A and B are shown apart, each in its own frame.
Chain A
Amino acid sequence: MAKILMKGNEAVAEAAIRSGCRLYFAYPITPQSELIEYMAKMMPKVGGTFLQAESEVAAINMVYGAAGCGKRVMTSSSSPGISLKMEGISYIAGAELPCVIVNVQRGGPGLGDIQPAQGDYFQATKGGGHGDYRTIVLAPNSVQEFADMASEAFELADKYRTPVMILADGMLGQMMEPVEFKTPKTQEEMDELGNQHNSWCIRPNEDGDKKHHHEINSLEIDPHVLEQHVNELYEKYAVIEDKEIRYESYNVCDDNEVLCVAWGTSSRIVKSAINELKAEGKNVGLIRPITVWPYPYEAVKNALGKKVKSVYVFELNTGQMLDDVKIAVEGKVPVEFWGKVGGIVFTPAEIKAKLEACFK
């Protein structure tokens, strides 16, 4: 298929539909509104349901219901709206249901502004909602990857019966890049998807046998039952941490004296600075976590090699990933941080200047 020039917001919506998502509930918010617009336009054309809910809270609970019926369902929002969805996400994680949530981050806290930011890292990777749960979080850094992650997110959600978040930002949502889509699911594949969760989901009780009824619930009033449930969740998360870590190594080599760690939009800017430094004969490596939970601790640690003297973390926040990098580095070398906030995106020249200082 030929490449199409598309905004990230539209590309992830199209990719979700091609991955078999036929249910989408959301409430508009900048800078992700093109996503909801695209769904409003396209869902009726593929026989799906688009519903603009009265609030983000309503939308995530519609997702809860649809996921309980075993269907591929998605919602999306931007930072303040995602905060509103957090209660629902906790319920969905507790009830072990698959769904996909897209967060096109903007500046915060509070209503903040509508420019790109990465201030929701803590919220996305360290819980967000109440209770002892994790969310798989995928962080794209291009329109193509944003689109590819739609199908990957649904696969992971179905495989582990857990909510999966795609953590993008205003820049990835608003920018256009060429994107190539996968072939849409065939009717046969759609039928298969529709039936894959029949063993546990809510569905018509065809034979009338009450023993066949399924319950979807996040309330376990007996502490011993809840204890067992949370332990089982924990075991599931351990498997995810073991099998589903994704990251990119860029220019990581034996003569790196400085190693950068950056995710999402930030990593694009850092790559530009690395390219410019490379042209001047200075080799700086980059580890880009693609899953920010589970986090690629080993990859960061291994990239230290023998020569790396310092690690530099760049984010569009005040250092929310810094703790994870420090855990990975195990105190072997100093870890520096530099970031921009308020919806201001740093430039390659600024990053380059910071890295050049490491060589002095």
Chain B
Amino acid sequence: MKLTDTLLLSIKNLFRHKLRTLLTISGVMIGTCAIMIMLSLGIAMNRNFLEQINQMGNIMQITVYHYNQGGKTPDGKDIPPLDDDMVARLEKMDGVEGVAPIFEINVKMMAGKYVGHVSIMGIEPRMFDILDIPVNGRPLQEGDTNQMVFGRDVMYNFYNPRAVRWEPIPEDFDITKEKLTISWDMNYGEKPQPGMEKPKVQAKPVKVEVVGTVEQLGSEYSWRILMPMDTVKKYQKEIEKYNRQNGGSNGGGGFYGGVRIMPMYASGGKEQEGYYQVIVKAKSMDDVVPIMEKIKELGYECFSPVQILEEMQKQSAGLRQILLGIGIMSFVIAAIGIANTMYMSIYERTREIGIFKVIGARLNDIRRLFMMEAWWIGVFGGIFGIFLSFGMSYLLNKFNVSLGGSIIWTPDGQKTLPSSVIPFWLPIAALIFAPLASLLAGLLPSRRAMKLSVMKALRQD
């Protein structure tokens, strides 16, 4: 018997009992929908974690720390300094896109009548691309010296030093349009107060210029001022000089993560040249963990949001499994429904099966005829189930029924994360799974139809 004939005949048979078939199909439909929705909730949950983590900081960045506490590498050697040589070495690692040393200095900044304590981070201009720093205006370029990229939230550090009471900078004050100067003297711009010691050597204020801003709320760069690395290193030397000239204790600007690292604890390691902190950017998310393992072998500590993501995903894995379990359970019930329908129809059609056998149906023809009926139920149930799932998913998202999803803030404002996400592969998988599972459910009933004895079948009335 040809396959097309089997398919046509089986579908004809199915529609002999429209109501029963329809009920069985709706069972499969609900089962398919249950699995899809449960999976879509889990998928949405994981995606939302990723988005939330990404909000906290770029997921592909690894922050490497070196506290120079005199610890050893895992194989017992002294930890090498985190200096420019090491930065170059890290940059050559597999999967690393770029490495940015963190080097910050604290200075006093004046903008119009307002002043503020700010920290300036040195950065190689090419790192703007690698670290995906979202700049309005332009990022720093090669050849920039006194140019800076100004994080929007830095303005909250400014206040009016002349005011009698605390007077922060007004919300609508555009700091970037002001004439900006910085100084190593932490009393720069302040109203002289009694008892305030005057520095022996005055620090000359330096003019700076804003070329770009970071407006994105909540971004790690919105709290920072970025300037070219060479400029910041030059400033650091001047701060050291200024501190030396003034005995080092009279409110001079500080720095950390600087080129010279003092041991953190007295009992710790020797004084080293290097950075406290560097940021390593991986090429892809999959590279992050291997890179971190290699860095740990060198003796440094490191951190990446991926760790949080993995932890969150691990914790939610149980929940997702339970969800999937519920989905599968409803499909099993649907499959039992299929088997039940099949047994019913075999019982009713015993005589017909007998006739088919007498007039030349082979055993396989009979079995296939019934298997195809189960298959059709699976196909229709699967298709309807997919449509139902999209509808359900739409409703879940519309009414924001949420499982681990929530609201996040983006540059465009508030954004609600979806509670159900159906990726493109899910309906395809459902369309394969539902008929296959239905075939499985039809296996035993079909065998029974196949094995019916002709004589017994014919004798039945």
Q: Do A and B bind each other?
A: no
Binding site for B on A (CB under 8 A): none
Chain B interface residues toward A at CB < 8 A: none
